[in-house]
């Protein structure tokens, strides 16, 4: 047997799993597109399209020949290239104007979304914009504004047209090179400007009546208000969050407790909620129909129950706002109940693959979001684990123990599968998350969600308060568990942000272990362990500079020391979290690392001296510092810097964005956000 035939034979064993590998290959192409330093251009896109078509044709031809395994490989390559095309097409279709300057003045628009900012301020997303002195063709399609100060003149409702005087600017880039790029997220949300107001926002016109997204958002708000009215306190805010997706009234303390106990997923309307709701509707209706004498003999009550449960899931999807996790969950239950309708096995990896393909084809940018990654990691691991247990021929727990064992297994598997992604995105690990989930998830499934369905059924009769009143107590139990578990000593650990290759390697290793057959699954350990090894050896930059020039952070013996105790607070928070050291900014500013008076700071980076100048007279002091410092950072524009002075002032930082300083072979290297983000449509370079 020739080597080519041997390779083809090995690959042919996987040919029957092409559907399972399809979203992996498509996702690889999507990820490759977002990692590009620049857009391919028309010539590049034509070449990718041609290569994808040729690979698909070659794959189809080989699949019918003696080297069918190589056909599987060619089809996989075609899907990777298709991922590039899908992501590029999506980027172009989401193109919308971005505000090109800092704006202060009247802002008028229609409210389409209400949430809260990181500082806990009410935040409005507006469309149908009107800005003074901005031409219609340059108007952002959507604007997001945080409401600060006294705001007693407006009770925002989706659909209302509001006006205010606000500061606006284009969405900002990462606070450090390689960090989260809000500009990309804003691009796909068509948000062309963000800002804030300290003046009262005013109602211009009430929302128009009708159907569509605004009507659904208005219904969500009415339901959320009714739920909070029937259930007082934090439990009511929790109930509103899990029924409508409205977290606006959740306190920062409760959110912190839920995150610290690894119960924050209970707030996200995702697979758990969708599965519990549709599963309860399906089971309850099936049993109810079975009670009708002779009905089960005449009609397929199982299929009737599946159709009604699917409709309940569709309504829940619309009500929740339709985030990626909810969409994935709805596609999953759609496939599951579709299988019931055609008398097939409901829960398989194929259902997960179809859900992933559907989302990647419609919203390829979801691949980069933690919700997508954690949701599919948990679902894939659970389906694979329970599939293996279904075929298990060893010891079986007694019937009375099957429920607790199943809960323990599902919580453990889901927790292990999502832990690397949660740690990478949120820089924390909940050490007692399994305990909290074992205490809270059964209550969520057996009491909270059934009572929520009952409340919805009683609402037309005006009796929903009865079910909501009972719903209060299990929710209070969940919140009590969150507070107690998160308050335990050592409940929360912190980890540094991983490098760019860590999560892809971990994901590939996990997928190989699930999708490969036989002993080949063990090969997944190679990228998995390599990814964790890279994470363990990650080195954070020796120094970081905010894009405004107003803050510098230098790594020292006590952790990162900051040049100021206040100002550029968001950058400071992100830097410290990414270091795995989330202390308060004033604590980091008190650490050893900087010398000198406020506004005239000095720090050593190896043999090099860095000067950080802010405040009144900073330009003159920056020029004077050129004679002693190897690198000068100024928060103002410095005119006519001496030749040979290595200076980053406000004007230069506006072009480069935030900086990371790295010491290599005794040389101080500067890495900028502009260099790492590349020339992409959302960076403002390739528009």
The predicted-structure confidence for 582-593, as pLDDT tens digits, reads as follows 999 999 999 999
Neighbouring CB atoms inside 10 A of 53's CB total 13
Shared-domain flag, residues 479 and 567: no
Beta-carbon contacts of residue 212 (< 8 Å; ≥ 6 apart):
none
Shared-domain flag, residues 336 and 430: yes
Domain assignment of residue 506, yes or no: yes
Domain assignment of residue 404, yes or no: yes
pLDDT tens digit sequence for 146-161: 999 888 788 888 888 9
Handedness of CA 332, 323, 170, 570 (dihedral sign): negative
Residues in the chain: 687
Q: What is the CATH number of the domain that holds 137?
A: 2.40.50
For residue 612, list its beta bridge partners.
Answer: 601, 633
With tokens 């084809």, the residue in question is 361
The pLDDT value given to residue 13 = 64
The pLDDT value given to residue 322 = 61
Shortest CA distance to 417 belongs to which of 366, 374, 353, 355?
A: 374
- In this structure, what token pair is assigned to residue 234? 């934090």
Shortest CA distance to 568 belongs to which of 671, 486, 674, 653?
A: 653
Domain assignment of residue 676, yes or no: no
Cα 649 from Cα 651, distance rounded (Å):
6
Asked if 558 and 594 touch (Cβ cutoff 8 Å), the reply is: no
Shortest CA distance to 62 belongs to which of 77, 73, 51, 52?
A: 73
Task: Tell me the pLDDT of the chain averaged across its residues.
Answer: 87
Asked if 490 and 431 touch (Cβ cutoff 8 Å), the reply is: yes
Query: 151-160, 290-299, 354-363: which has the highest mean pLDDT?
Result: 354-363
- What percentage of residues in the chain have a pLDDT greater than 90? 48
Cα 543 from Cα 557, distance rounded (Å):
13
Starting at the earlier edge strand, list the strands of the sheet with 600-605. Answer: 594-595, 600-605, 608-613, 631-634, 647-648
Cα–Cα–Cα angle for 676, 677, 683, rounded to 5 degrees: 155
Asked if 354 and 376 touch (Cβ cutoff 8 Å), the reply is: no
Shared-domain flag, residues 191 and 49: no
pLDDT tens digit sequence for 401-460: 766 777 778 778 888 888 899 899 989 888 898 888 889 888 888 888 889 888 888 888
Shared-domain flag, residues 517 and 395: no
Shared-domain flag, residues 474 and 526: no
Beta-carbon contacts of residue 462 (< 8 Å; ≥ 6 apart):
none
Shared-domain flag, residues 200 and 222: no
Helices (H) and strands (E) in the chain, counts: 25, 18
Residue 364 half-sphere exposure, CB side, CA atoms within 13 Å?
27
CA 49 to chain centre: 30
- In this structure, what token pair is assigned to residue 146? 């945080």
Beta-carbon contacts of residue 617 (< 8 Å; ≥ 6 apart):
none
207-210 own/partner pairs: CB under 8 Å, 24+ apart = 207/110, 207/111, 207/157, 207/158, 207/159, 207/160, 207/161, 208/159
Domain assignment of residue 342, yes or no: yes
Cα 314 from Cα 318, distance rounded (Å):
6
Shared-domain flag, residues 467 and 615: no
Burial class (CB in 10 A: 0-12, 13-18, 19+), 200: middle
* Domain end point (choices 93, 120, 154): 93
With tokens 């095309």, the residue in question is 85
Domain assignment of residue 661, yes or no: no
Identify the band that residue 517 occupies on the pLDDT scale cut at 50, 70 and 90. confident
Q: Which domain holds residue 560?
A: 543-656
Alpha helices (runs of H) in 427-553, residue ranges in sequence order: 433-443, 449-458, 464-486, 502-515, 525-536
pLDDT tens digit sequence for 301-316: 889 999 998 998 888 8
The pLDDT value given to residue 211 = 46
With tokens 């069918």, the residue in question is 68
pLDDT tens digit sequence for 50-104: 999 999 999 888 877 676 667 788 889 999 999 999 999 999 999 999 998 999 9
Domain assignment of residue 665, yes or no: no
- In this structure, what token pair is assigned to residue 30? 């999507």
Shortest CA distance to 105 belongs to which of 154, 145, 136, 141?
A: 145
pLDDT tens digit sequence for 555-575: 999 999 999 999 899 999 999
Between 645 and 66, whose confidence is greater?
A: 645
Identify the band that residue 291 occupies on the pLDDT scale cut at 50, 70 and 90. confident
* Domain end point (choices 173, 208, 243): 208
- What is the average per-residue pLDDT within 308-332? 78
Between 338 and 368, whose confidence is greater?
A: 368
The pLDDT value given to residue 343 = 76
Assess whether pLDDT exceeds 90 at residue 398: no
Query: Of 113-127, 394-408, 427-441, 461-475, which range is least confident?
Result: 394-408
Shared-domain flag, residues 525 and 442: no
Shortest CA distance to 594 belongs to which of 559, 646, 554?
A: 554
Assess whether pLDDT exceeds 80 at residue 604: yes
- In this structure, what token pair is assigned to residue 214? 């605004």
* Domain end point (choices 171, 191, 208): 208
Shared-domain flag, residues 283 and 329: yes
Query: 74-83, 234-243, 300-309, 620-629: which has the highest mean pLDDT?
Result: 74-83
Between 659 and 12, whose confidence is greater?
A: 659
Domain assignment of residue 61, yes or no: yes
Shared-domain flag, residues 378 and 488: yes
For residue 146, list its beta bridge partners.
Answer: 123, 196
Shortest CA distance to 541 belongs to which of 597, 451, 601, 606?
A: 606
Assess whether pLDDT exceeds 90 at residue 602: yes
**β-strand pairing of 631-634 with 647-648:** parallel
Assess whether pLDDT exceeds 60 at residue 210: no
Assess whether pLDDT exceeds 80 at residue 618: yes
- What is the average per-residue pLDDT within 252-278? 80
CA distances from residue 645 to 323, 485, 602, 630, 648 in whole angstroms, order as listed:
49, 54, 16, 8, 10
Domain assignment of residue 664, yes or no: no
The pLDDT value given to residue 31 = 96
The pLDDT value given to residue 125 = 93
- What is the average per-residue pLDDT within 280-290? 88
Shared-domain flag, residues 70 and 153: no
Query: How many distinct structural domains can be found in the chain?
Result: 5
Q: What is the DSSP letter of 568?
A: S
Shared-domain flag, residues 300 and 415: yes
Identify the band that residue 178 occupies on the pLDDT scale cut at 50, 70 and 90. very high
């Amino acid at each position: 047997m020739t080597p080519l035939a041997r390779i083809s034979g090995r690959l042919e064993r996987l040919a029957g799993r092409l559907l399972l590998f399809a979203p992996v290959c498509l996702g690889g192409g999507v990820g490759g597109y977002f990692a590009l330093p620049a857009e391919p251009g028309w010539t590049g896109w034509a070449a990718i399209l041609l290569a994808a078509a040729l690979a698909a044709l070659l794959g189809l031809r080989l699949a019918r020949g003696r080297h069918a395994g190589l056909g599987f490989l060619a089809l996989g390559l075609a899907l990777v290239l298709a991922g590039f095309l899908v992501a590029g097409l999506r980027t172009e279709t989401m193109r919308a104007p971005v505000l090109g300057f800092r704006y202060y003045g009247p802002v008028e628009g229609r409210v389409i979304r209400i949430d809260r900012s990181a500082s806990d301020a009410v935040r409005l997303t507006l469309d149908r914009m009107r800005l003074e002195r901005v031409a219609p063709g340059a108007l952002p399609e959507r604007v997001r504004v945080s409401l600060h100060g006294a705001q007693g003149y407006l009770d925002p409702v989706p659909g209302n047209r509001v006006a205010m005087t606000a500061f606006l600017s284009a969405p900002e880039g990462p606070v450090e090179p390689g960090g989260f790029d809000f500009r990309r997220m804003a691009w796909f949300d068509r948000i062309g400007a963000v800002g804030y107001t300290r003046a009262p926002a005013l109602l211009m016109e009430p929302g128009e009546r009708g159907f569509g997204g605004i009507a659904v958002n208005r219904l969500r708000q009415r339901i959320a208000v009714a739920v909070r009215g029937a259930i007082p306190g934090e439990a009511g805010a929790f109930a509103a969050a899990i029924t409508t997706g409205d977290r606006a009234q959740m306190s920062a303390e409760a959110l912190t407790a839920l995150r610290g106990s690894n119960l924050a997923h209970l707030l996200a309307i995702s697979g758990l909620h969708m599965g519990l709701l549709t599963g309860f509707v399906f089971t309850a209706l099936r049993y109810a129909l079975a009670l009708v004498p002779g009905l089960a003999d005449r009609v397929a009550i199982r299929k009737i129950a599946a159709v009604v449960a699917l409709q309940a899931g569709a309504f829940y999807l619309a009500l929740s706002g339709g985030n990626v996790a909810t969409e994935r969950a709805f596609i999953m239950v759609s496939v599951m109940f579709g299988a019931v309708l055609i008398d097939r096995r409901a829960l398989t990896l194929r259902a997960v693959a179809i859900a992933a393909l559907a989302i990647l084809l419609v919203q390829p940018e979801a691949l980069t979001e933690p919700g997508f990654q954690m949701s599919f990691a948990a679902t894939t691991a659970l389906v694979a684990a329970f599939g293996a247990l279904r075929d298990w021929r060893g010891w079986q727990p007694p019937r009375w123990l099957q429920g607790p064992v199943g809960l323990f297994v599902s919580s453990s598997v889901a927790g292990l599968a999502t832990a690397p992604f949660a740690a990478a995105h949120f820089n924390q690990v909940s050490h007692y998350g399994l305990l909290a989930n074992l205490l809270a998830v059964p209550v969520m499934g057996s009491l909270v969600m059934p009572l929520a369905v009952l409340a919805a059924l009683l609402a037309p009769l005006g009796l929903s308060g009865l079910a909501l009143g009972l719903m209060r107590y299990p929710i209070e139990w969940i919140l009590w568990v969150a507070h107690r578990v998160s308050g335990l000593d050592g409940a929360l650990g912190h980890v540094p942000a991983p490098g760019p290759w860590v999560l892809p390697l971990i994901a590939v290793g996990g997928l190989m272990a699930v999708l490969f057959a036989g002993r080949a699954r063990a090969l997944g350990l190679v990228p998995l362990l390599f990814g964790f090894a890279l994470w363990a050896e990650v080195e954070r930059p020796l120094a970081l500079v905010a894009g405004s020039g107003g803050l510098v952070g230098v790594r020292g013996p006590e952790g990162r020391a900051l040049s100021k105790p206040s100002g550029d607070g968001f950058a400071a928070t992100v830097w410290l979290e990414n270091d795995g050291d989330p202390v308060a900014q004033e604590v980091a500013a008190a650490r050893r690392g900087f010398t000198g008076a406020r506004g005239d700071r000095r720090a050593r980076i190896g043999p090099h001296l860095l000067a950080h100048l802010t405040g009144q007279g900073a330009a003159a002091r920056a020029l004077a510092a050129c004679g002693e410092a190897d690198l000068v950072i100024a928060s103002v524009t410095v005119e006519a810097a001496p030749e040979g002075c290595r200076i980053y002032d406000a004007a230069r930082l506006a072009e480069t964005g935030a900086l990371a300083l790295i010491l290599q072979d005794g040389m101080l290297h500067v890495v900028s956000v502009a260099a790492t983000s590349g020339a992409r449509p959302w960076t403002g370079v390739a528009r």
